[in-house]
A and B are shown apart, each in its own frame.
Chain A
Amino acid sequence: MNENIVEISGLVKVYPSFSRMSIKDLLTARNTSGFDAVSEGLQFQRKVAIDDLSLNIPKGCKFGILGHNGSGKSTLLSLILGVLQPDGGTLKVNGRAVGLLEMGSGFHPELSGNENVMLYLSILGLSISDSKALLPSIVSFCELGNAMSSPLRTYSAGMVTRLAFSVLCHVPTDIFLVDEVLAVGDYAFQLKCIDFMEQFSSEGGTIIFVSQDPMTLQNTCTTGLCLHEGKAKALGPMDEVAYSYIEAIERMKNDAEK
C-alpha cells in the first residue's frame, strides 16, 4: 500500500500585495496614467511564492522540506494545512493535517497554561470534552508542572514552545506539520519530540518537517524537497536533497567570493 496522502500538481500560489497601496496611490496612479496602469502596477507587485510545484507525499512518510528564508516553505505548509488556497494547479490532502506555522501564536499571554491549552485545542477543532480528556497527558508530556497555572507571560520562549508542541502532538491527526520547532526546546525535550515523531510515524502517520538545517532533516526524514524561489530544486531521497542544498549554498558562497 503506497497511496499518497498529499498530491500536488502544478501548484501556484501568488500573494497579492496591493495591501501596501493606500487610496492615495490608487488615486494618483489613476489620474496620471489611467486605470490600466493601476492594474498593471498591481500585477507587477504580486509575489509568486509557489511556482508550478508538483510532488506526491506517500502515506506514512517522513518528508523534509529544505530551503532558504522566503523560498516558499511556510507557504507550502499553509497550503497543505488549508489556511491558504492555491491560485493554480491542484492540491489534494487525503486526511487531516495539524501543524503550527508560528510557535505559540494561538496562545494568549494573560491566560494560564491550562487555559491556553483548552482554548488552543478548541481552535484546532477539538470539542471541550475531548480537550478535557487530553489535558492530563499534555500536562505530563510538557513537564511544566506548577507553571501550568501561571499566566503565559511568565513563561520563557522555550517553555511556550514546549507547551505548543505538547498540545499539537496530542491532537489526533493523519499529517503532522513541524516548522523549525525543535531548535527552541532543551535537548531532553528535543529527544522526547523525536521519540514522539518516531512513534507517530510507526503508527502510520505522515510527518512533514520544515527546516533550514540539512543535518537535522537527514537524521529524521527519508524523502525530501528543496525549495528555491517557489520551485522544486531537488526532490527525492533526503540525502540527495540535503546534498544539493549544501552544494547550492557552497556555490553561492564561492560566487560571492569571486
Chain B
Amino acid sequence: MKHFLELTFLMIRREMIVRYRGTILGYAWSVLNPLVFALVYIIAFKYIIRIPVENYGVFLLTGLFPWLWMSGAMNGGVKGFETYQAVLKAGAVRPIIVPFFVVIIEFVHFLFSLPVVLAIVFYSVAAIPIAALIYFPIVFLLTAFFLFTAVCIVSCLSLVFRDLGHLIQLFVQMLFFLSPIIYPVDLVPDSFKTIYHLNPFVDLIMLWRQILYLGDVEWHLAVYPLIVSCCLCIGAYVCFKHIGQRAVQWI
C-alpha cells in the first residue's frame, strides 16, 4: 500500500514535469487553455445566444473544470494500458493501477486549476461557498468512483475492440452538450427531461457547481450517479477479470 502511494506520487510528479518543464508559462498553460475556451463560450452563449444566467462566466467555469477532469479521464482511459505499459511490463504492480492512474492524474490537473476557479468565483460573487466546499472530498470520491469504474470498462474493452476509442471520444463530445455545463438544467424542456437525466454526468456537474459556487448542496443528486457506478462496478469487475488482468498480452 505504501509502495502504491509512493508510485502514484512519482507518476504524478512525472506528469507535472513532463507537462510544464521547459515551457515559459509552465503551470499557467494548464489553466490558460480552458480559460480561453471558456471565453469563447462566454461570447457565444452569454452575448450571442443570451442564456439567462446570472454571472454566466462563473456558472460556466464551475461546470467546465470538473467536466474537463471527467472527460479527460474517459478519453485517457481509451489508451490507458498503452500509456502505462512500461509500468506493467516491469512486473511489480497489478494492471488495476492503470485506471486508477488515469483518474488521479486528470484529477491533479483539475486540483491545480482549482485556485484559479475559486479566485474567479470570489472576484465575481465576492464570496466562496466555504460551507459547501467542505463537501469537496465527498463529491470527489463520488466522481472518482464513477470515473474509475467507467475507465476500467473503457480501457479493457478498447484493448480488444480498437473502434471503441473513436466511439468513446464521440460519445464524450456529445455528453458535453448533453450535460448542464454551458446552460442551466432548467432550460431543458420537460418532455425531454427523463431521458436527459439518464446521463449520470448531469447530476455530477450540478453537484460540483453547487459546492464550488452556488453553496446549496442537493444530496439527492448523488443517488443516481452512485447507482450507475455500482452497476458499472460489476461490468468493471467482469472486464478486468477477463481482459484487464492479462492486459499486457493485448497491448
A: residues with CB less than 8 A from B are: 15-16, 18-19, 21-24, 78, 81-85, 97-99, 101-102, 105-108, 110-111, 115, 118-120, 122-128
Contact = CB atoms under 8 A, between A and B. Distances in A.
Taking residues whose C-beta sits less than 8 angstroms from the other chain, chain B's interface range is 20 to 34
Given A106-B87, A110-B22, A123-B93, 7 more contacts: A83-B89, A83-B90, A102-B86, A106-B86, A107-B86, A108-B14, A128-B10
Contacts, number: 83
B174 interface: no
A83 B245 contact: no
Contact of A105 (B89, B162, B250): B89
B251 to A, nearest CB: 9
A122 B249 contact: no
Given A83-B91, A127-B2, A19 B17 contact: no
Interface in B71-87: 85-87
Contacts of B246: 84-85
Q: Which 8 A-B pairs have the closest CB atoms?
A: A125-B92, A81-B91, A106-B86, A105-B86, A110-B18, A23-B163, A123-B90, A83-B91
Given A22-B162, A85-B246, A122 B7 contact: yes
B159 to A, nearest CB: 7
A83 B248 contact: yes
A101 B86 CA distance: 9
Interface string B5-37: 011001100100110011000000000000000
Contacts of B220: none
Contact of A82 (B11, B14, B91): B91
21 contacts: A15-B249, A16-B249, A18-B160, A22-B163, A81-B91, A82-B91, A83-B88, A83-B90, A84-B246, A102-B89, A107-B86, A110-B17, A119-B10, A119-B11, A122-B7, A122-B10, A123-B86, A125-B90, A126-B3, A127-B6, A128-B6
B77 to A, nearest CB: 17
A7 to B, nearest CB: 18
A111 B91 contact: no
Nearest to A15: B249
A147 to B, nearest CB: 17
B18 to A, nearest CB: 5
Interface of B is mostly: helix
Given A83-B248, A84-B246, A106-B87, A23 B10 contact: no
Contacts of B192: none
B250 A118 contact: no
Given A15-B249, A110-B18, A111-B14, A23 B87 contact: no
Contacts of B88: 83
A132 to B, nearest CB: 11
A102 B88 CA distance: 12
A122 B22 CA distance: 25
A186 B183 CA distance: 63
Given A23-B163, A108-B14, A115-B17, A123 B92 contact: yes
Contacts of A82: 91
B47 interface: no
B161 interface: yes
A24 B161 CA distance: 10
A16 to B, nearest CB: 7
A127 B4 CA distance: 9
A76 to B, nearest CB: 14
Nearest to B243: A16
Nearest to A81: B91
A99 B163 CA distance: 34
Contacts of A127: 2-3, 6
Contact of B17 (A21, A23, A111): A111
Contacts of B22: 110
A82 B105 CA distance: 26
Contacts of B7: 122-123
